[in-house]
Amino acid sequence: MTILQENLLLVPGPTNLSARVREAMAEPQMSHVGSEFYESFTEIVKLARYAFRNENGIQFVFTGSGTVGMESAVVSTVCRGDRVLVVDTGYFGRRLTLINQAHGAKVDELLYPDGAHATPEDLRKKLSENKYKAVFMTHVETATSVRNAIGDLVKECRNAGVFSVVDSVCGLGGEPLDFDRLGADIVFTCSQKAIAAPPGAALLATSKEIQDYFGKRQDPIESYYMNLLRWKPVMDDPKIYLATPAVQVLRAVRVALMELKEEGLEARWARHHQLGEMVRKRVTELGLPLVADQGFRADTTTAFRVKNGTSAAIQKTLEQKHHIVVARGISEDRDRIIRLGHFGILTLDTLSRALDSLASVVEDVGAVDRATVGVPTLH
């Protein structure tokens, strides 16, 4: 297939790559044994610490998508029969439940309708009713673009003496997050979202407490690869072989993390906030209701409602006429939700032009429907 014109990716991952990141992938194939890899990997772990603001905990980077990060966190934490709580604010909360169940955990859910955010009061109540091994929660729910107040939620877990695990796949690098100050036991993300690298690397930070527990748990961790006990020594000494890393992806991750550091984490958060504000303003002006609760809207991604049945036409027209790729709702919301990812290297200028295109397509396909305002759906 010949690509005539490059698409602008406005999907919630994977995202657009900088020229330097692309060039890094085109460099000669690197071996995972040898000083070039060892040095480069050591630097990646250091840069990942910067992106997570993780000086005190353990830092992981290994090959896999975000789901590998999720499953590593789950399988390393739970033993069969353990009772856990999942704060389910959407599709990816539900995935946390499914992964926990796959590993034999008994899952209670703190379930919210699509667009709603989790509250510390609800969590406190749940935590007072049962003793849980761990609480799993999503920072930015990519299906609805709700940004949960993870600081408040993690605090409740700490007060109750329960491990807290945060999926920040759609947050880290674009939304303020400070691992050391947050006090969570595990935070994970992956390479293809706000870090702006290609898919293929899972990045996690763990607290010393949970890492100690991994070493002491009664039943062994029921995974060879997705095992945070096994990966830890590799992070300290990349000469240890556990599995062949996706070396070209890691080349790109290194450069993407360097670019993140060059910009500076706080400047990057501020830019993402401007991107988020621009999308929310422009989409709202078009008469398209945002899915997420006010005050809990992510800066990295935005989901909005369109007239039922028009999302496919919007997606197709934007790609064919404007070379812009957007996502539709996940699962049963496919036909009435459009999701935009606005993170990574995206500039305000590029976003503004893309939103002009969106406006013209919305008009062309007649996607505004005021009847969709405020219709909450349970996922």
**Contacts to ligand PMP by CB under 6 A:** 13, 65-67, 70, 92, 138, 142, 167, 169-170, 190, 199
Quote the least distance from Cβ 168 to ligand PMP, whole Å: 8
Residues in Cβ contact with 31 at an 8 Å cutoff, skipping those fewer than 6 apart: 37, 247
Two structure tokens written together for 49: 């610490």
Quote the least distance from Cβ 87 to ligand PMP, whole Å: 13
Quote the least distance from Cβ 44 to ligand PMP, whole Å: 18
Q: Are 92 and 167 in contact (CB under 8 A)?
A: yes
Buried b (16+ CB within 10 A) or exposed e, 301-317: bbbbbbbeebbebbbeb
Residue 238 or 341 having the CB closest to ligand PMP: 341
Quote the least distance from Cβ 299 to ligand PMP, whole Å: 14
Residue 65 or 101 having the CB closest to ligand PMP: 65
Burial class of residue 121, CB neighbours in 10 A (0-12, 13-18, 19+): exposed
Quote the least distance from Cβ 103 to ligand PMP, whole Å: 16
CA angle 75, 95, 206 (to 5 degrees): 40
CA 321 to chain centre: 29
DSSP 3-state helix, strand, coil percentages of the chain (rounded to 5)?
45, 15, 40
How many Cα atoms occupy the beta-carbon half-sphere of 128 within 13 Å?
Answer: 6
Quote the least distance from Cβ 101 to ligand PMP, whole Å: 16
Quote the least distance from Cβ 112 to ligand PMP, whole Å: 15
Residue 24 or 169 having the CB closest to ligand PMP: 169
- Look up residue 371 and give its DSSP letter: G
Strand 327-328 and strand 106-111: the pairing is unpaired
Rg (CA), the chain: 21
Question: Which residue of the chain is nearest ligand PMP when measured via CB?
Answer: 66
Residue 103 or 322 having the CB closest to ligand PMP: 103
Residue 157 or 172 having the CB closest to ligand PMP: 172
Residue 169 or 361 having the CB closest to ligand PMP: 169
Residue 14 preceded by cis peptide, ω within 30: yes
SS3 18: coil
Quote the least distance from Cβ 224 to ligand PMP, whole Å: 19
Q: Are 173 and 144 in contact (CB under 8 A)?
A: no
Quote the least distance from Cβ 353 to ligand PMP, whole Å: 25
Q: Are 190 and 66 in contact (CB under 8 A)?
A: yes
189: phi then psi, degrees, rounded to nearest 5: -150, -170
Residue 160 or 184 having the CB closest to ligand PMP: 184
Residue 138 or 317 having the CB closest to ligand PMP: 138
Strand 301-305 and strand 337-341: the pairing is antiparallel
Residue 135 or 190 having the CB closest to ligand PMP: 190
